Amino acid sequence: MTTIGFIYPDHAAEDDYPLAEQLLGGTDVAEGDIRLPVAHIYGTDLHAVPELLDLGSEARLAEGAGLLAKHAPDAVIWACTSGSFVYGWDGARDQADQLAAAAGVPASSTSFAFVHAAQAIGVRRVAVAASYPADVARLFVDFLAAGGVEVLSVSSADIDTAAEVGTLSPEAVVDLAVRHDHPDAEAVLVPDTAMRTLGEITEIEQKLGKPVLTANQVTIWEGLRLTGSTRLVRSLGALFRVRG
């Protein structure tokens, strides 16, 4: 059995994780069970730089690692995009290293997951459909650029809190991704783990005619990557239809 632990801020769209566990467990039992426990840490859910820096602090993530310890995870992921990219590339690397030290296992974050996922499916030019305010969305663009991913267009829905993002309907999620495509983009990125997206990936990709990478999708994939537990799951999009 492979266990990947996720540190998730507050509550919004964490039900994407048991859904993913169900989908992953149904692929091939010969490959072994996948468990995706989620531990919650709490702070403000405001999409603003000072609050995000606090949310992703070493102390808060160490708390999350402690909550996950009872599950004996094989890897731990900080399941928060804005709470990782807000530190910049080097700061986010330090953040992941500190989390790995606290957890005693390999660690990463959703921001790095986006870069690694884009590399895995061979895309370098993307559109970003963000729920964040514009200043926060711009920091994600800068992070992607540091990872070699060019953003051709970025939208900002100007939603101030994760709780509000979590109330978006499936139709609103699909519309956000589809409306903010760019004709020259090789994929569309939807970067908020507070947004439920796993059930909408297939529809979005069908409407776009190209891959979509969403925050909870890439976060789960990153955990699998760290543990060498790649799975092929057609309903989870183009990312889960490639190995390695």
Q: What is the pLDDT of residues 215-233, one digit of tens each?
A: 999 999 999 999 998 788 8
What was the pLDDT predicted at 162?
65
Q: To the nearest 10°, report the CA torsion of 135, 139, 144, 146.
A: 140
Judge residue 63's burial from the number of C-beta atoms within 10 Å of its C-beta, 0-12 exposed, 13-18 middle, 19 or more buried: middle
What was the pLDDT predicted at 31?
54
Distance, in Å, from the CA atom of 23 to the CA atom of 158, rounded to the nearest integer, reads: 32
Give me the residue spans of the domains in the chain: 2-241
Nearest Cα residue to 40 out of 218, 194, 159: 194
List of residues 6+ apart from 31 with CB closer than 8 A? 229, 231
What was the pLDDT predicted at 26?
46
* 84-100 exposure pattern, b = at least 16 Cβ within 10 A, e = fewer: bbbbbbeebbebbebbb
Q: What is the mean pLDDT of residues 23-34?
A: 65
Task: Convert the pLDDT of each residue in 108-130 to its tens digit.
Answer: 999 999 999 999 999 999 999 99
Higher-confidence residue of 39 and 31: namely: 39
> Over 217-235, what HEC string results?
HHHHHHHHHHHCCCCCCHH
Distance, in Å, from the CA atom of 3 to the CA atom of 10, rounded to the nearest integer, reads: 21
**The model's pTM:** 0.93
What was the pLDDT predicted at 17?
95
Would the pLDDT of 30 be above 70? no
Judge residue 233's burial from the number of C-beta atoms within 10 Å of its C-beta, 0-12 exposed, 13-18 middle, 19 or more buried: middle
Q: What is the mean pLDDT of residues 178-204?
A: 95
Higher-confidence residue of 151 and 32: namely: 151
For the domain spanning 2-241, the CATH number is 3.40.50.12500
